[in-house]
Amino acid sequence: MNSVTMYKLYSMQRSGNSYKVRLALALIGEPYQAIEIDILRGESRTPEFLAMNPSGQVPLLEVADGRYLAESNAILWYVTVGTPLAPEDRIDRAQALQWMFFEQHALEPSVGAAYFWLALVRGGRDLQTHALEDWMERGYGALQVMENHLKTHDYFAAGRLTLADIALYGYTHVADQCDFDLSGFPSIRAWLRRVEAEPGFVPMTRNPVLNPAYAAGA
Amino acid sequence: MNSVTMYKLYSMQRSGNSYKVRLALALIGEPYQAIEIDILRGESRTPEFLAMNPSGQVPLLEVADGRYLAESNAILWYVTVGTPLAPEDRIDRAQALQWMFFEQHALEPSVGAAYFWLALVRGGRDLQTHALEDWMERGYGALQVMENHLKTHDYFAAGRLTLADIALYGYTHVADQCDFDLSGFPSIRAWLRRVEAEPGFVPMTRNPVLNPAYAAGA
């Protein structure tokens, strides 16, 4: 980003997908303007917001006047180009992408959905009883794949902290707030601590959230 | 790929995720060695396969001796680097990635799951009655986002055919084989025909599949 203009990020404090982008921007020390969009209050479904992002989702980044980029992981690649978080080597980059696509089809629709409905939406558990079993099964499956990798690797790609770790950290670090028990995943828990020890690390939110479990840390 | 070695791709004929990679390789005219892995017969769960890909999924690409890359969309970026299918411009690339991540969290877990259980697995419909309603709702939601974009764009990113189209084509072109009715999505149907008119295009499979609807085309 040039120094005259600053990124404008539409984001929600308690959204794991939004947090990924804020975490990456914090780690690379890039200043940005955050506009809070509370999807629980319908703020991502207003005509104004839908004109910027027809999917009605956060995060959303204004990349040029009137041009917007959606999808947390695409935004991650965009804002970190040229930084150590975005591997340049062809195989390293492919492996980072591999884990980021894994995150979006295996972790986000299971742990991400469980987090949204169980930790954020009041009464959400009762609305989603039919889906909960599937989320748990698929979520634990994804966590096991991550655990197996982390048994022999400190990070997910390129032998160092990359966008892949940031993408996976987004929902993994709140899994224990939505019924997932991480006690059987020691390598994941050690990796969570490694990410949190990075210079520049910021937590998802310091704001009060609905679920009091958050206060205990993830 | 250098000319001495040829890509080795572990793939399943009737898998939409596998097909994406085969379609991209066909469009760029890159020869490769295909090894058929029938996941319906458990061939992706053998000790030998799990040693290559702990996720037990196809497609899987051998990128170097004993090094493997998983996740269809990561493989797409890897094999098409330097070709027109993979945009180099920073915003074009971000928008292609945006749609490819959308595909993995919105289309693949809904239409992809419905295709697998309804079109490929004999008796799968009865096993998945609890999930079908969710797949339909989320799948139609994803198709509507695509339809809205295609009303004013011929392709998904960069104003031309890119990996984003290939990724989305994988499951969209079989949606009508797993209960989705595309008659209300004229822009999607026109886009499917545009992709199929590309020089080098290959269909998913010429092999007989379980669902006779395939013979009628997608």
CB contact under 8 Å between B74 and A81, yes or no, is no
Q: CB neighbours (10 Å) of residue B88? A: 10
Q: Are residues A140 and A56 in the same domain?
A: no
pLDDT at position A209? 41
Q: Are residues A40 and A129 in the same domain?
A: no
- A207 falls within a domain: no
- Residue A144, helix vs strand vs coil: helix
Tell me if A86 sits within 8 A of A162, measured CB to CB: yes
CB contact under 8 Å between A74 and B98, yes or no, is yes
Residues 6+ apart with CB under 8 A from B112: B16, B17, B170, B171
Q: Are residues A94 and A193 in the same domain?
A: yes
pLDDT at position A1? 52
Q: Are residues B155 and B130 in the same domain?
A: yes
Q: What is the ipTM of this complex?
A: 0.90
- A216 falls within a domain: no
Q: Give dist(CA A22, CA A206) in Å, integer.
A: 13
- B18 falls within a domain: yes
DSSP state of A121: S
Q: Which of B80, B101, B129 finishes a domain?
A: B80
Residues 6+ apart with CB under 8 A from A102: A142, A145, B55, B70, B71
- B27 falls within a domain: yes
Tell me if A99 sits within 8 A of A168, measured CB to CB: yes
pLDDT at position A206? 56
Q: Are residues A145 and A75 in the same domain?
A: no
| Of residues A35, A87, A25, the one with CA closest to residue A58 | A35
Neighbour-count burial for A18-47, b at 16+ CB within 10 Å, e otherwise: bbbbbbbbbbeeeebebeebebeeebbeee
Angle separating helix axes A163-172 and A186-196, nearest 10 degrees:
110
pLDDT band, very low/low/confident/very high, at A131 (cuts 50, 70, 90): confident
Q: Please, which residues bridge with residue A70 across strands?
A: A60
User: Which chain B residues in 105-144 lie under 8 Å from chain A, judged by CB atoms?
Assistant: 105, 108-109, 130-131, 134
Q: Is the pLDDT of residue A4 over 60?
A: no
Phi, psi of A213, rounded to the nearest 5 degrees: -60, -25
Q: Are residues B21 and B97 in the same domain?
A: no
Q: Give dist(CA B171, CA B176) in Å, integer.
A: 10
Tell me if B58 sits within 8 A of B37, measured CB to CB: yes
Q: Are residues B140 and B208 in the same domain?
A: yes
* Long-range contacts from A19-23, C-beta under 8 angstroms, 24+ separation: A19/A170, A19/A204, A19/A205, A20/A59, A20/A72, A20/A73, A20/A76, A20/A166, A20/A167, A20/A169, A20/A170, A21/A59, A21/A61, A21/A72, A21/A75, A21/A76, A21/A79, A22/A202, A23/A166, A23/A169, A23/A170, A23/A201, A23/A202, A23/A204
Mean of the per-residue pLDDT values for chain A? Answer: 91
Q: How far is A201 from chain B (nearest CA, A)?
A: 24
Q: How far is A193 from chain B (nearest CA, A)?
A: 24
**Phi/psi zone of residue A66: left (φ > 0), alpha (ψ -120 to 50 degrees), beta?**
left
Overall average pLDDT of the B19-40 stretch = 95
Which tokens belong to B209?
Answer: 């599949």
pLDDT at position B206? 56
Domains held by chain A: number: 2
- A209 falls within a domain: no
| Of residues A43, A153, A20, the one with CA closest to residue A95 | A153
Q: Are residues B104 and B211 in the same domain?
A: yes
Q: Is the pLDDT of residue A64 over 90?
A: no
Q: Are residues A148 and A187 in the same domain?
A: yes
pLDDT band, very low/low/confident/very high, at B54 (cuts 50, 70, 90): confident
Q: Please, which residues bridge with residue A35 across strands?
A: A10
pLDDT at position A106? 94
**Phi/psi zone of residue A211: left (φ > 0), alpha (ψ -120 to 50 degrees), beta?**
beta
Q: Which of B80, B98, B121 finishes a domain?
A: B80
User: Which chain A residue has the Cα nearest residue B60?
Assistant: A98
Per-residue model confidence as pLDDT tens digits over B91-103: 999 999 999 999 9
Q: CATH code at B28?
A: 3.40.30.10
- B26 falls within a domain: yes
Which range, of A118-127, B134-143, B164-173, averages the lowest pLDDT?
Answer: A118-127
pLDDT at position A65? 86
Residue of higher predicted confidence among B1 and B59: B59
Of the partner residues A72, A91, A134, the one whose CB lies closest to the CB of residue B131: A134
Overall average pLDDT of the B196-212 stretch = 73
Overall average pLDDT of the B15-22 stretch = 96
Cis, peptide link before residue B59, omega less than 30° from 0: yes
- A208 falls within a domain: no
- Residue A167, helix vs strand vs coil: helix
Overall average pLDDT of the B112-141 stretch = 92
Q: Are residues A94 and A189 in the same domain?
A: yes
Q: Are residues A97 and A176 in the same domain?
A: yes
Overall average pLDDT of the B169-182 stretch = 97
pLDDT at position A128? 87
Q: Give dist(CA A27, CA A24) in Å, integer.
A: 5
Which tokens belong to A164?
Answer: 């892949």
Q: Give dist(CA A115, CA A180) in Å, integer.
A: 10
pTM recorded for the entire structure: 0.91
DSSP state of B115: I
Which tokens belong to A124?
Answer: 């959400």
pLDDT at position B211? 36
pLDDT at position A12? 95
| Of residues B105, B83, B102, the one with CA closest to residue B94 | B102
User: Which chain B residue has the Cα nearest residue A76?
Assistant: B94
Of the partner residues A55, A91, A105, the one whose CB lies closest to the CB of residue B63: A91
Q: Which of B80, B98, B122 finishes a domain?
A: B80
Tell me if A96 sits within 8 A of A128, measured CB to CB: no
CB contact under 8 Å between A101 and B55, yes or no, is no
Range of the domain at B51: 7-80
- A210 falls within a domain: no
Q: Are residues A164 and A101 in the same domain?
A: yes
B50 has a chain A CB within 8 A of its CB: no
Q: CATH code at B171?
A: 1.20.1050.10
